[in-house]
């Protein structure tokens, strides 16, 4: 996982040091100077301009969108050349070198095969990894489908969706025929999916929520779609497993309360679990679209972690070829141990 909190702090520090050294400009350079198609190109601007108008805003945008950070920009050598013979800029050079090291140490997300036979393969997808290539994410280079193919040594076919920030069990087929059967099983709700989520507040009782959801449309991809479409049926089952409290103030409250929830989507609408928990006023921690910014900030500050605390823990279905009943389960990532320990959940 990227150390995003540390990188954000370094970006803020670089801005502050540029301002202290009177290198921060109030007027941006010309549009032509910023027109390079290379995301971090440094051939049309002075170095301090490049820091201010290219590196800082573009890295911040990638952090905000949970995009893939560059690992080979090599900022420190450029800084040393640009600021050569200016000892007053040594603190700034040190911060830039620290940022350079932080970026070069970022790890690409990896997948782990948790089940495989001659027809299907299931992997553990980490939070932040896209399932497959999309024109909406043209700059991304890492995908679960590609990584799974490279790991098992054959082409794989997607049969269902797992949101980018959601981790856990992701299933692929090894042939188009099996993919067609599995896709129909998902569409007909013949696959049982069990999720775990860390949610804001105390939830005392479980229930089934039948709350229709209006389809979420993308501004670009769904530009010509029907904007007035009726809400679609959406049903989720939820069950509290454990309640805990952290001794950290959040918003106007002196401490933070959470519930570890077991969630099961009966239907399969976009962001269904996230939107349903938000509707219940118990949003999933780390949800930057439907969640609570105060809770998300607390987790970034206390644990230096920025992720959605939602995992597809297990999946049960009849094997599309043999008919055998399968339950594929994965483990929680190490990330979860930090908030668990803060709530005293050491067992």
From first to last of its 347 residues, what are the pLDDT tens digits of the chain? 456 788 889 999 999 999 999 999 878 777 766 665 555 665 567 888 888 888 898 888 888 877 777 766 678 878 888 888 888 999 999 999 888 878 876 556 688 999 999 999 999 999 888 898 765 555 566 789 999 999 999 999 999 989 989 999 999 999 999 999 999 999 999 999 999 999 999 999 999 999 999 987 665 445 555 567 789 999 999 999 999 999 998 888 899 999 999 999 999 999 999 999 999 999 999 998 899 989 988 888 888 777 899 999 999 999 999 999 999 999 999 889 999 999 999 76
Are residues 132 and 143 in contact, defined by beta-carbon separation less than 8 angstroms? yes
Are residues 285 and 291 in contact, defined by beta-carbon separation less than 8 angstroms? yes
Domain range summary for the chain, segments of one domain joined by +: 4-104, 112-342
Is 116 exposed, middle or buried, given 0-12, 13-18 or 19+ CB atoms closer than 10 A? middle
Are residues 100 and 73 in contact, defined by beta-carbon separation less than 8 angstroms? yes
CATH architecture of structural domain 112-342: 2-Layer Sandwich (3.30)
Would you tell me the crossing angle of helices 4-20 and 293-303 to the nearest 10 degrees? 90
The string of DSSP codes covering 151-187 is HHTS--EE-S---TT-EEEEEEESSHHHHHHHHHHHH
Q: How far is CA 256 from CA 4, 294, 339, in A?
A: 23, 10, 11
Q: What is the dihedral of CA 201, 3, 123, 155, to 10 degrees?
A: 140
3-state secondary structure (DSSP) of residue 148: helix
Backbone angles phi, psi at 331, to 5 degrees: -100, 155
User: pLDDT at position 1, please?
Assistant: 45
User: pLDDT at position 245, please?
Assistant: 95
Backbone angles phi, psi at 261, to 5 degrees: -110, 145
Q: How far is CA 122 from CA 295, 307, 328, 338, in A?
A: 32, 22, 8, 27
Angle at 176 between CA 171 and CA 182, to 5 degrees: 45
Q: Is 130 left (phi over 0), alpha (psi -120 to 50) or beta?
A: beta
Say how many C-beta atoms besides its own lie within 10 A of residue 80's C-beta.
13
The position carrying tokens 């095969």 is 113
Give the separation between CA 159 and CA 171, rounded to whole angstroms. Answer: 7
Q: Does residue 163 carry a catalytic annotation?
A: yes
3-state secondary structure (DSSP) of residue 284: strand
The string of DSSP codes covering 97-119 is HHHHHHHHTPPPP--EEEEE-SS
132 is written with which tokens?
A: 């497959």
Give the separation between CA 75 and CA 199, rounded to whole angstroms. Answer: 39
Are residues 199 and 283 in contact, defined by beta-carbon separation less than 8 angstroms? yes
Give the separation between CA 47 and CA 54, rounded to whole angstroms. Answer: 10
- The pTM (predicted TM-score) of the whole model is 0.70
Top CATH class, 4-104: mainly alpha
User: pLDDT at position 62, please?
Assistant: 84
Single out the catalytic residue among 3, 100, 163, 287: 163
The string of DSSP codes covering 1-55 is ---HHHHHHHHHHHHHHHHHTT---SS---TTTT--SSTT--SSS-HHHHIIIII
Give which of 13, 127, 109 is closest to 59, Cα–Cα: 13
């Amino acid at each position: 996982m990227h150390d995003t909190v540390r990188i954000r702090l370094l970006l803020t520090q670089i801005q502050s040091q540029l301002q202290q050294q009177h290198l921060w400009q109030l007027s941006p350079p010309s549009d032509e100077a910023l027109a390079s198609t290379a995301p971090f190109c440094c051939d049309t601007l002075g170095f301090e301009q490049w820091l201010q108008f290219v590196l800082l805003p573009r890295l911040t945008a990638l952090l905000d969108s949970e995009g893939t950070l560059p690992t080979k920009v090599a900022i420190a050598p450029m800084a040393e050349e640009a600021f050569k013979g200016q000892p007053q800029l040594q603190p700034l050079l040190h911060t830039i070198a620290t940022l350079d090291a932080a970026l070069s140490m970022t790890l690409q997300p990896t997948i782990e095969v948790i089940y495989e036979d001659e027809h299907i393969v299931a992997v553990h997808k980490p939070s932040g990894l896209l399932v497959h290539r999309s024109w909406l994410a043209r700059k991304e280079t890492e995908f679960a489908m590609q990584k799974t193919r490279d790991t098992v040594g054959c082409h794989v076919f997607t049969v269902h969706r797992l949101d980018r920030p959601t981790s856990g069990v992701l299933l692929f087929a090894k042939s188009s025929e099996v993919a067609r059967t599995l896709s129909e099983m998902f569409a007909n709700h013949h696959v049982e999916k069990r999720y775990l989520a860390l949610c804001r507040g105390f939830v005392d009782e479980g229930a089934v929520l039948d709350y229709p959801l209006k389809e979420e449309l993308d501004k670009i991809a769904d530009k010509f779609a029907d904007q007035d479409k009726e809400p679609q049926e959406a049903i989720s089952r939820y069950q509290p497993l454990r309640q805990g409290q952290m001794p950290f103030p959040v918003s106007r409250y002196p401490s933070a309360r959470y519930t570890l929830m077991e969630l099961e989507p009966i239907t399969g609408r976009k962001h269904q679990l996230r939107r349903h928990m938000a509707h219940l006023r118990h949003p999933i921690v780390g949800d930057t679209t439907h969640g609570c910014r105060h809770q998300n900030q607390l987790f970034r500050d206390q644990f230096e972690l920025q992720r959605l605390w939602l995992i597809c823990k297990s999946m049960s279905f009849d094997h599309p070829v043999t008919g055998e009943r399968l339950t594929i389960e994965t483990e929680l990532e190490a990330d979860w141990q930090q908030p668990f320990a803060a709530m005293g959940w050491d067992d």
